[in-house]
Structure 1
């Protein structure tokens, strides 16, 4: 969690900070092969140097970015979970539960889909 400490310290709302930290801890426990890092001032997880999932925060929500392919693959699941979204982000309101099963599916999909990827982003 040390890699994210400075980012987390900048989150003013303690409950938002704790919630995001809990998500990061869950990912590190569930997917120990992923590398946590800060890039473009955002916390993210990579696998063999390729992007798997990233996060950002806004006043009303945390955002999860599984890349466009992940958004397309899980579009129905995202809607079913009741999350707002854009083409690139899933918005999880601070007062909504985190759908860890959906987050797990997105991460597993990206890890498998990008297993042979040699670039950071999909081409």
Structure 2
């Protein structure tokens, strides 16, 4: 988690900082083969040089960005989980528990779907 220390230290709200740290630590523990990186001032996880998932902090939510293909694949699950979303990200409100099961399935999908991907982003 050293890769994310400076990012986490910059989160002003202690509750948001703690929840973000918990999510990032959970991803790191659940998927230890993923690389922890900061790109575009945001924490993200990559696999063999390709993007798997990224996170950003907003006033009312933790934004989870798994790329459009995963958003389409899990559209119904995201809606059933009660999360607001856009075409590119899921908004996980600070005042609700994180749906780790959904997060796990999204990350697993991206790892498998991008196993042969040779670029950072899907083409």
What TM-score range do you get, normalising by the shorter chain? over 0.9
Q: Which residue of 2 aligns with 1:27?
A: 27
Q: Which residue of 2 aligns with 1:72?
A: 72
Q: Which residue of 2 aligns with 1:49?
A: 49
| 1:89 maps onto 2:89 in alignment | yes
Give the alignment's TM-score, normalised by structure 1: 0.99
- Give the match's secondary structure for 1:46: strand
Deviations 1:20-39 (A, max 9, x none): 10011111111000000000
- Stretches of structure 1 that go unaligned for 5 or more consecutive residues are none
| RMSD across aligned positions (CA) | 0.4
Alpha-carbon distance in structure 2 between the residues aligned to 1:88 and 1:96: 21
- Give the match's secondary structure for 1:95: coil
Alpha-carbon distance in structure 1 between the residues aligned to 2:57 and 2:15: 13
- Stretches of structure 2 that go unaligned for 5 or more consecutive residues are none
- Moved >6 Å (runs of 4+): none
Q: Which residue of 2 aligns with 1:119?
A: 119
Number of aligned pairs?
A: 123
Alpha-carbon distance in structure 2 between the residues aligned to 1:74 and 1:89: 11
Alpha-carbon distance in structure 2 between the residues aligned to 1:6 and 1:25: 14
